[in-house]
Amino acid sequence: MTALSIAEAFHQLKQNNEKAFVAYIMAGDGGLSSLKDKVLFLEKAGASMVEIGIPFSDPVADGPVIQEAGKRALKEGVSLAKVLAEIAAFRSSVTIPLIVMTYINPVYAYGIERFVNDCAKAGVNGVILPDVPFEEQGILSQELKEKNIDLIQLVTLTSPEERKKKIAQASNGFLYAVTVTGITGQRNKLPEELSGYLEHLKKISPVPVLAGFGISNHRQVKEVGSYCDGVIVGSKIVDLFHQGKEEEIVELIGKKTESIL
């Protein structure tokens, strides 16, 4: 079974006139042995890619739901090394791209070279490091590039125009457009300026633009997805898995909107 790269996944989505739906889960929430089943479940439900969070004691970008999931995983003794080993063990069973989301402290402690090599061995397609400023990405961007692993860049509503352009031009895989000012978590209302922000990023980005943070229901998936290439949903997926409401995850992913490209 050959896994798709992120670029190949987007090519396939475009051919099928579909938007991307990236599902985030916390590795080790419910035990590390559940990670494979969750990834396979999400793939079968129609997720385009899965973003796998690594539990960390100081998750600056994560809201309450994901923080609690991380605490539960840490109590299970989950670590970066164990997660990468687990991914490597089941990677051949999964065809969609897998993205690891972590912070720079665990990577430094692990060793950058070792981290990149083990990501490559595990078949990881992309890495997200939300606390690494754009100016500091050189600490591991070249190593990741040599292993054909995309370093996903984040851009925010408050980023100055020139910075947005620089980040977009340096992006690999896709550009992660943060849709709110603040941490992750479910929101009843998204910013009014969101449509213009996403449409502008689409114009300046050489790679697909995906929107994440605060997207948690069918209406938001459809609305936000109409402005860009797809959405990333985290807190809602994590919460539904924790509550054992897998059928609602299937319904949420099933609401992917058709492409207007």
Q: Which residues are catalytic?
A: 51, 62
CB 108 within 8 A of CB 80: no
* Angle, alpha carbons 204-205-209 (nearest 5°): 125
CB 230 within 8 A of CB 212: no
d(CA 155, CA 158): 8
The DSSP code for 36 is H
d(CA 78, CA 59): 15
Question: Which one, of 166, 138, 167, lies nearest residue 152 by Cα?
Answer: 167
Give me 249's structure tokens: 């995850």
Pairing state between β 150-155 and 175-178: parallel
Contacts 24+ apart (CB under 8 A), 139-146: 139/104, 139/112, 140/107, 140/112, 140/115, 140/116, 143/112, 143/113, 143/116, 144/116, 144/119, 145/172
